[in-house]
Amino acid sequence: MQRAFLSFFLLLLVLLGGPTVARATALAASTASYKDTIVVRLPNQATLTLVVRDAAQLRQMKNYQLDSLTSRLASYITQAEKAAQGSSTNQVTLQFYPDKDQPGKNLPEQIRITTRKKEVNTNRVDVVLNKAFGVTVTTDEKGNKSYNTVDVKTKEQRQAHRDSVRMKDLENRSTKSHLIFDLGLNTLVNQKTAAGQSDVDLRTEGSRYVNIGLDWDIRLGGKHSPMSLTVGPEFAFNNYMLNGNQQWVNENGRTSIILNREGRQYQKTKLATSSINLPLMLRLQLHDSHYKPTFTIGAGGFVGYRLKSWTKVKYTSEGTTYKDHEEGSYNMENFQYGLQATIGYRDLEFFGKYNMNPLFKTNAGPDTQVLSFGLRLVGIN
């Protein structure tokens, strides 16, 4: 080899002694395949590779100005290192075109430099127990230690395991139970007033509906069927609170609403009931790609029985607050039946419940029906 070629190798040897590994490739103008390759393994385990088409390309190396190339490479390497440290990725590749920047000086056509971020000098120790649980102890260059509990499995492996467990649970459980808690409001609909009477005026925020139940979903169809039949006992509490200074009274076998006759100013006056109900609903439950429940919709009916009813008034007299409580049937229907529906996403659902039976017995109270609606706040599978 000629001296120019030897000098070029010595130059690259000096550059490779630092943290950056430079790889020079002679680019052919044509698409002909390369024939000759020279590989030099250096003591610091770096590798220098030169690929040429023939010996004539080697002889052209003497035409390069090695002193100028040395300073250029040092500048290019500095730029590449700065770009790597400021990059969001671990590796950065920069390309330079000296011959285009200064034409006519016989400089290389292209120089490509690939650098990686410098890693912080840390000492890491992993302690693994039973191939399932571990602790990572990391010591930085200042001697500070940090401790992290780690799972040997990757994030993807843990997710796949959870998906597998959910899928098997979904396939194996043909019946699933869940606790429900409904919180909503009552309103009276389809009121038919007799001569000389007015519609019942309820206070919206005080006419609350609360329902607690344990429902069972019985799957209909195959292992992956989204359809189920819902049944289960539910306990409901209905409040019908009046506006103004009116009260519920039971006189002469009829439940009526009258103005207060004793000159008191009522703070609250309500009629309340408790009942046990049995729903029967057709339910559609969809799942995402990880077998978690998502969108759900259900519709069906219910039957029930009134357990208890009472009135309660609250007022203040001479600085003392009184709460009068009186139990009785108040001529309300004992048996109940109607329609209900739910719609929701994951554990949160909205519900609507319509009592098809009248609230009171025929000709024994206001002729009206009840509509309840609100949120199903809790659903634990």
* Cα gap 310→327, rounded to integer Å: 4
Count of structural domains within the chain: 3
Over the chain, what is the mean pLDDT?
A: 79
Beta strands in 78-194 (DSSP E): 91-96, 111-116, 123-129, 133-139, 145-150, 175-192
Alpha helices in 209-320 (DSSP H): none
pTM above 0.75, yes or no: no
Q: Is 228 in the same domain as 92?
A: no
pLDDT at residue 157 greater than cutoff 60: yes
Q: Is residue 158 part of a domain?
A: no
Question: Residue 41 contacts by C-beta under 8 Å, 6 or more apart in sequence?
Answer: 47, 48
Check residue 31 and give its pLDDT.
40
Instruction: Please check whether residues 144 and 196 belong to one and the same domain.
Output: no
Q: What is the pLDDT of residue 44?
A: 65
> Is residue 317 situated within a structural domain?
yes
Q: Which residue has the tokens 């519900």?
A: 351
Q: What is the mean pLDDT of residues 246-270?
A: 87
**Which residues does 325 contact at the CB level (< 8 Å), separation at least 6?**
310, 311, 312
Instruction: Report how far Cα 115 is from the mean position of its chain's Cα atoms.
Output: 38
Q: State whether 139 and 201 are in the same domain.
A: no
Tell me the sheet residues that pair with 380.
179
Contact in structure between 150 and 335 (CB atoms under 8 Å): no
Residue 160 domain flag: no
Q: Is residue 250 part of a domain?
A: yes
Domain that holds residue 69: 3-116
pLDDT at 308: 96
Residues 333 and 195 in one domain: yes
Residue 242 has pLDDT above 90, yes or no: yes
Residue 328, Ramachandran bin (φ over 0: left; ψ between -120 and 50: alpha; else beta): left
DSSP type of residue 363: T
Q: Tell me the pLDDT tens digit for each residue of 267-309.
A: 899 999 999 999 999 999 999 988 888 999 999 999 999 999 9
- Whether the per-residue pLDDT at 28 is higher than 60: the answer is no
Mean pLDDT lowest among 41-50, 144-153, 168-177, 254-263: 144-153
What is the pLDDT averaged over residues 204-216? Answer: 94
Task: Answer yes or no: do 72 and 213 share one domain.
Answer: no
In a domain, 370, yes or no: yes
- Residue 343 and residue 212 share a domain: yes
Of 36-40, 109-113, 134-138, 235-239, the range with the highest mean pLDDT is: 235-239
Percent of the chain with pLDDT over 90: 37
* Residue 20 covered by a domain: yes
Q: Are residues 129 and 112 in the same domain?
A: no
Instruction: Please choose, from the candidates 39, 43, 20, the residue with its C-alpha nearest in 3D space to the C-alpha of residue 116.
Output: 20
Cα separation, 187 vs 184, in Å, equals 10
Reduce the DSSP state of residue 220 to 3 states and report it: coil
Residues 137 and 246 in one domain: no
- Residues 40 and 23: their CA atoms lie apart, in Å, by 11
Q: Considering only 42-56, 181-195, 200-214, 259-273, which range has the smallest mean pLDDT?
A: 42-56
Q: Where are the alpha helices (H) located in the chain, listed in sequence order? A: 3-15, 55-59, 66-85, 98-101, 155-172
What is the predicted pLDDT for the residue at 94?
Answer: 76
Same domain, yes or no: 85 and 134: no
Average pLDDT over residues 31-49: 63
Which residues lie below 8 Å from residue 125, measured CB to CB, with a gap of 6+? Answer: 136, 137, 138
Q: Is residue 169 part of a domain?
A: no
CA separation, residue 151 to residues 106, 128, 140, 158 (Å)? 57, 9, 22, 9
Query: Same structural domain for residues 104 and 145?
Result: no
Both tokens of 82, joined, read 């700065």
Q: Is 318 left (phi over 0), alpha (psi -120 to 50) or beta?
A: left
Residues 269 and 339 in one domain: yes
Place 316 in a pLDDT band, splitting at 50, 70 and 90: confident
Q: Which residues of 104-133 are buried (b: 16+ CB within 10 A; e: fewer)?
A: eeebbeebebebbeeeeeeeeeeeeeeeee
Q: Please report whether residue 91 resides in a domain.
A: yes
| 9 CA to centre of own chain | 58
> What local confidence, expressed as pLDDT, does residue 361 receive?
94
Q: Judging by beta carbons within 10 Å of its beta carbon (0-12, 13-18, 19+), is residue 207 exposed, middle or buried? A: buried
Tell whether 71 and 219 lie within a shared domain.
no
